[in-house]
């Protein structure tokens, strides 16, 4: 295992993307001719402050993953970790993989967010210089409400809420402790790493995210992502 690393990026792509409604996992869908997950890998591999990139893959699509990395000449720059049945387990698998390394910070990112740029990565790493957890967020543009049984119970003050993005940055020792504590308490289906840090009673800082850093959840999101790629000039 490589020693004396500082910032490690973890890209989670172990899911199958049921909500997209296609037989192929969404990370393999094409955005301007390039597989969705390759956009995130490119951004993180090229960033000067990122020392290593781990890609957490779906074991049913191992050969497809290898073939794509080879096609883009990145198989020697990306380390592969087998994913789990839940997002939380996939994240923990990657953190366990790093246990024998001298890692300071980890950035955990969802492969379904292809449009991360260098500035956001830099800002997260900078934030980690004086905190243990840092998450990018964006403001809500519309009102939100609490509902039950097809009725609106309450209109919330949107200024008190934010949309959470990835990559989420953590001190390595803090985030692996948070995962281990959650598993000890039989918490196995958390959809967000920062929520596990909050369970420890530790603070999670936030910075301004990027409105163009959208998550591809449904098929129509690919069309929006393509517009944003053009807007960024990529």
119-138: pLDDT as tens digits = 999 999 999 999 999 999 99
Q: Residue 114: pLDDT band by 50, 70, 90 thresholds?
A: very high
Query: Is residue 115 a contact partner of residue 230, using CB atoms and an 8 Å limit?
Result: no
**For residue 219, what is the enclosing H or E element?**
helix 219-232
Per-residue model confidence (pLDDT) at position 218:
87
Please give the average per-residue pLDDT across 165-189, as a whole number: 97
Q: Which of 17-21, 102-106, 168-172, 174-178 has the lowest mean pLDDT?
A: 17-21
Degrees to nearest 5, angle at CA 113 with 221 and 124: 145
**Per-domain residue ranges of the chain:** 7-232
Judged against a pLDDT cut of 80, whether residue 183 lies above it is answered with yes
Mean pLDDT, the chain, whole residue set: 93
18: pLDDT confidence band, cut at 50, 70 and 90?
low
> DSSP assignment, residue 100?
T
Q: How many DSSP H helices and E strands does the chain contain?
A: 7, 12
pLDDT at site 176: 98
Which fold is adopted by the domain 7-232? Spore Coat Polysaccharide Biosynthesis Protein SpsA; Chain A (3.90.550)
DSSP code at position 60:
G
Q: What is the pLDDT of residue 17?
A: 53
Confidence of residue 216 (pLDDT cuts 50, 70, 90): very high
With the C-alpha atoms ordered 129, 135, 138, 142, is the resulting torsion angle positive or negative?
Answer: negative
Q: How confident is the model at residue 1 (pLDDT cuts 50, 70, 90)?
A: very low
For residue 167, pLDDT over 90 is answered with yes
Q: Is the pLDDT of residue 234 over 90?
A: no
Q: Label residue 2 by pLDDT band (50, 70, 90).
A: very low
- DSSP per-residue codes, 3-41: -S--EEEEEEE-S--GGG-SSS-GGGSEETTEEHHHHHH
């Amino acid at each position: 295992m490589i020693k004396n690393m500082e910032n490690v990026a973890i890209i989670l792509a172990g899911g199958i993307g049921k909500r997209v409604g296609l037989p192929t996992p969404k990370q393999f869908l094409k955005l301007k001719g390039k597989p969705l997950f390759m956009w995130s890998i490119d951004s993180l591999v090229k960033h000067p402050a990122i020392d290593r990139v781990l890609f957490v893959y779906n074991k049913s699509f191992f050969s497809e993953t290898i073939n794509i990395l080879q096609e883009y000449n990145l198989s020697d720059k990306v380390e592969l970790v087998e994913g789990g049945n839940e997002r939380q387990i996939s994240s923990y698998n990657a953190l366990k993989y790093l246990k024998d390394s001298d890692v300071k910070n980890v950035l955990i990112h969802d492969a379904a967010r292809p449009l991360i740029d260098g500035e956001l990565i830099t800002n997260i790493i900078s934030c980690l210089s004086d905190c243990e957890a840092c998450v990018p967020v964006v403001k809500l543009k519309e009102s939100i409400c609490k509902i039950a049984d097809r009725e609106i119970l309450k209109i919330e003050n949107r200024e008190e809420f934010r949309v959470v993005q990835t990559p989420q940055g953590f001190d390595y020792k803090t985030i692996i402790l948070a995962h281990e504590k959650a598993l000890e308490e039989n918490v196995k289906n958390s959809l967000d790493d920062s929520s596990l840090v909050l369970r420890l009673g530790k603070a999670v800082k936030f910075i301004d995210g990027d409105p163009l850093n959208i998550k591809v959840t449904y098929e129509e999101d690919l069309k929006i992502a393509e517009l944003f790629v053009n807007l960024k000039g990529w």
